[in-house]
Amino acid sequence: MAAPFDRLTPRSQRVLEMAGEEAAALRHAEIGPEHLLLGLLREGPGMATRALRELGVDIAGLGHRMRSGLRPGEVDPGDHIALGQGVRDAVRMARIEAERLHHEHLGTEHLLLGILRGGEGATYLALVGAGVTLDRARRQVSSILNEQPPDPAFATRPASRSGARLAGGASGSSRFAFRDPRLDDLEHCARCEAPRRAEWRFCAFCGERWPRCGTCAALVPTVVGARFCTECGGGIDRDG
């Protein structure tokens, strides 16, 4: 397959195969986003299904609702089934989401985010109807990548650290007057300034990745101008 399909993981390739099976079973001429979602729901152990479960989605129920809303077509069994433009667009959007997370591969989680990023169609509406938005899915995927659930106390994106912190006498807009003091003790994402824990590998808000030491691979807090690891003295790899 041509790029970006050549970046699909084995799980994602299997999802596309199952999407084709879903289209064939319904005698549809093209594999659409609805078949892609059904493939994701069937795949099982992938990150997309895990994220959906942790967002409270009834996987079997969503699959049943999707299938019941699709009408059988008239394609003869054994006929070639093409990839529809909707799936191509979803994979293209998945690549954008993967790049946002600094990933070279396209996993099932990226396919899910790609469908949601499209922002239209019956498949998108089915996910939104199940309570899954692009923002919620992004945060859940980032939470899984960080290998621990986000702290509810820090679930709200903070105001800029350059803005006001105290009411009365502080500079900045009054809407930033209240600030949880616990946020001041945390490192913050260099891209979006959301609070982040040292053990996290990715920002749960925007996907920015911590820099790593090129020698010992230790995670290094984002410090402007820092070039060396405080653990071993090795150079900090901010691009890797």
Identify the three-state secondary structure at position 137.
helix
What values do phi and psi take at 41, rounded to 5? Answer: -70, -30
> What does the domain layout of the chain look like in residue ranges?
5-145
Identify the three-state secondary structure at position 27.
coil
pLDDT tens readout for residues 65-98: 999 888 888 887 777 888 899 999 999 999 999 9
The whole-number pLDDT of residue 3 equals 60
Mean pLDDT of all residues in 179-203: 59
One CATH from 3.40.50.300, 1.10.1780.10, 1.10.3720.10, 1.20.1280.290 for 5-145? 1.10.1780.10
The whole-number pLDDT of residue 192 equals 65
The whole-number pLDDT of residue 21 equals 92
| HSE-up of residue 1 (Cα within 13 Å, Cβ side) | 13
Would you say residue 183 has pLDDT above 80?
no
The whole-number pLDDT of residue 226 equals 58
Task: Tell me the C-alpha distance between 91 and 46, whole Å.
Answer: 17
pLDDT tens readout for residues 139-157: 999 888 886 444 443 333 3
Percent of the chain residues past pLDDT 90, beyond the cut: 40
The whole-number pLDDT of residue 6 equals 77
